[in-house]
Amino acid sequence: MTGKLGYLEVSSFKGTLRLFGPSDKLSLEDLRYALNVVLDKDEGVVSLAPGYAELSDTALDQTSVHSLGRRGATRYQGAGTKFYRGFGSAIKTGLNGNRLSLLNYGDGKDNDWTFIVGGGDELKDDGTNLRNLGMAAPAFTPSVAQGGSGDISSTNSYKVTYKNSTTGHESNPSTVSADIAVSSKKIDLSGMTASTDPQVDKKRIYRTDLSISTWNFVAEIDDTATTYTDDIAIGSLGDSIETDNDEPGAMTILAGPVFNRLFGAGIVKNLLRWCKPYEDGKSRGECWPALNELEVGSLEDTIVDLIAAFGALVIPCAEHWYRLAGTTSATFNIVNTRAHRGLASFHGWAMTPGGAMFIGLDGLYVFDGLQTVPVYASLRPLFRDKTVNGISPINLDQVSKCRMTSLGDFVYLSYPSGSATSNDKVLRIHMTQEQATQLDWEAESIYLEPIANVLTFGDRSGKIHQVTGLTANGTNQSYRAETGDLRDAQDAFTLYRIKKLTKILIDYNTNGANMTLDILADGSSIKTFTLNNNGRTKTTLDFPNDSRGIRIRAKFTGTSGTDFDLYGLVILYELGEIKFG
């Protein structure tokens, strides 16, 4: 019996490759148990494996790109103990080497920032300036002295705050000054030293006296000014001082906005925290009152991630999933869901039409807002150290390193396989069909850029790649055709069909450059073809005698900087014997 393995139709290497198995490859009964098959839509196995291209010719000066982010045209990377903007020199060094949580935040005043936590410092970046997240209160205590004749007649004391006039963010106040009693006098303030924080450009001065219980606004001065003379009558004082603009403190996870707030978790791993709500044109994403916290789970059932979904905040922990109920700080409370499978890794989830798909310790699940539902039973042996249809098992000892995201109809799971201690495989899973393909990407981090809708990943050598299908400037572009392995319903044994490869039909244009086509059977190269033409060409290529295998892979490699056009590919084969596995 003969058949055709694979057919693709793309306009160029920037398209997507679809490889289909033939209808006569397996019987309908066999197809019922074949991996990656949907009987209502496919006549055989459908397997898509996009390629990738390097985003920069130069690697970062740290290996292990563990974190990625993007805001507008600015890309961010965390690698080793450094943080990078673009692909240039590090803009922050001395981090602790842990993965970062990056969140884009607009403060309502045309100031857009990326907040960065998890590396031991809480930071923000606007594409030009890297600054601390939050603002420390002044370390000085203002000195006071009686001045000349004026309008103040009372016993007074003062507090001072720092301010960023661009964002409107204001720090907590300094310690209170000494009391000073005057009658029809001015009051001279001194000793108000400038901040060392470059985002601070103003100071705000507040005063109280024995007739009122709050400190109220007196004046705003430049941060460089260290003295001020107060002659404001008590009836002309402004708004009262805010004393809960606390700095965020040590956090490792950020999410939001939800209920007009950002939420975080961190070093104390079962505490959920949140900032002030945005209001009155003030930047509140940097104000994290110390009392704004709730305990979630337990010290064993710790917070793994935070997800803004289902119109609420979802809190996946090591053993259970929780939800935040209420809409204000006064009404917030933690509700346990019926989800009793914990999230195994930070960013080990992706949104799908059915809910949040995530990786657990024993399989893949979907959290639908109320409960967890197991999915992809055919892939469950991967969590028991078994290979499934050529897909390598997951190293559960390193499962916390797994990362997941989604693009289009697919979820991408980056994981360490076998005995690997870092991510060396990516599992590409169809969201609604029982289809999965393994990709040989060393994706320490994997990230869907929100604006460009582009999938990127960072590897172990300090390079960042863009997943584009088979693209110009790409390296190691690989397309795989999984050819109808089947298993019985109890997973007791696996049957394989041997394929004897005969010919390749290819429709292509290399635009005058060399393109290499390498055909691999079960991981080993059986034939390499060098293609070079200038103008669209359809041709037939022959395999050597006895070119045989079970899983066939077509791998394309092209010269950097050259555009290649691949219009169609068909591999012809004859079915051989059945092999038990």
Percentage of the residues of the chain whose pLDDT score is greater than 70: 79
Span 428-442, mean pLDDT?
80
For 56-60, 132-136, 496-500, which range has the lowest pLDDT when averaged over its residues? 496-500
The two three-digit tokens of residue 237, written as one number: 């004082």
Across 55-59, 284-288, 523-527, 557-561, the highest mean pLDDT is recorded for 284-288
For 189-193, 525-529, 569-573, which range has the lowest pLDDT when averaged over its residues? 569-573
Collapsed DSSP state (helix, strand, coil) of residue 399: helix
Q: How far is CA 359 from the centre of its chain?
A: 15
Check pLDDT > 60 for residue 461.
Answer: yes
Alpha-carbon torsion angle 118, 243, 232, 145, nearest 10: -90
- Apex 471 CA angle, 466 and 473, nearest 5: 80
Going by the DSSP 8-state scheme, the letter that residue 489 receives in this structure is T
Band of pLDDT at residue 21, cut at 50, 70 and 90: very low
Using a 10 angstrom Cβ sphere, with 0-12 exposed, 13-18 middle and 19 or more buried, the burial of residue 64 is buried
How far apart are alpha carbons 206 and 383 in whole angstroms? 61
- Beta-carbon contacts of 408 under 8 Å, excluding residues fewer than 6 positions away, are none
pLDDT digits (tens, 9 = 90+) for 298-350: 888 999 999 999 989 999 999 999 999 999 999 999 999 999 899 999 999 99
β-strand partners of 145:
188
- Beta-carbon contacts of 570 under 8 Å, excluding residues fewer than 6 positions away, are 4, 5, 6, 7, 504, 505, 506
Check pLDDT > 90 for residue 171.
Answer: yes
- What does the DSSP assignment read for 29-41? HHHTTBTT--TTT
Sequence-ordered strand ranges (E) for 119-250? 123-125, 130-132, 143-163, 180-190, 202-209, 216-222, 228-230
Average pLDDT, the chain: 82
The two three-digit tokens of residue 434, written as one number: 């029982």
Band of pLDDT at residue 20, cut at 50, 70 and 90: very low
Span 356-380, mean pLDDT?
94
Check pLDDT > 70 for residue 214.
Answer: yes
pLDDT value of residue 280: 60
pLDDT value of residue 340: 87
pLDDT value of residue 92: 96
Band of pLDDT at residue 23, cut at 50, 70 and 90: very low
Q: Distances in Å between the alpha carbon of 30 and those of 24, 119, 199, 397, 434?
A: 11, 51, 66, 35, 15
How far apart are alpha carbons 581 and 578 in whole angstroms? 10
How far apart are alpha carbons 296 and 171 in whole angstroms? 29
Span 369-374, mean pLDDT?
94
pTM beyond 0.85, yes or no: no
The two three-digit tokens of residue 332, written as one number: 């917030």
**Cis amide leading into 277 (omega within 30):** no
Collapsed DSSP state (helix, strand, coil) of residue 432: coil
DSSP H or E stretch at residue 31: helix 28-31
Span 461-466, mean pLDDT?
90
The two three-digit tokens of residue 423, written as one number: 């991510």
For 32-46, 251-265, 279-293, which range has the lowest pLDDT when averaged over its residues? 32-46
Check pLDDT > 80 for residue 496.
Answer: no
Band of pLDDT at residue 437, cut at 50, 70 and 90: confident
For 236-240, 372-376, 487-491, which range has the lowest pLDDT when averaged over its residues? 487-491
β-strand partners of 39:
none
pLDDT value of residue 391: 83
Span 161-187, mean pLDDT?
95
Check pLDDT > 70 for residue 422.
Answer: yes
pLDDT value of residue 512: 85
Helices (H) and strands (E) in the chain, counts: 1, 45
pLDDT value of residue 31: 29
Q: Tokens 């929100």 appear where?
A: 450
Band of pLDDT at residue 483, cut at 50, 70 and 90: very low
- What does the DSSP assignment read for 123-151? EEE-SS-EEESS-PPPSS--EEEEEEEEE
How far apart are alpha carbons 145 and 142 in whole angstroms? 10
How far apart are alpha carbons 480 and 86 in whole angstroms? 32
How far apart are alpha carbons 518 and 524 in whole angstroms? 10
Using a 10 angstrom Cβ sphere, with 0-12 exposed, 13-18 middle and 19 or more buried, the burial of residue 453 is exposed
Band of pLDDT at residue 464, cut at 50, 70 and 90: very high
Check pLDDT > 70 for residue 144.
Answer: yes
Q: Distances in Å between the alpha carbon of 21 and those of 46, 241, 304, 485?
A: 7, 70, 40, 11
pLDDT value of residue 109: 56
What Rg, from alpha-carbon coordinates, does the chain have?
30
DSSP H or E stretch at residue 313: strand 312-316
Q: Give residue 60's identity as a one-letter amino acid code.
A: L
pLDDT digits (tens, 9 = 90+) for 407-418: 888 899 999 999
How far apart are alpha carbons 417 and 429 in whole angstroms? 16
β-strand partners of 258:
261
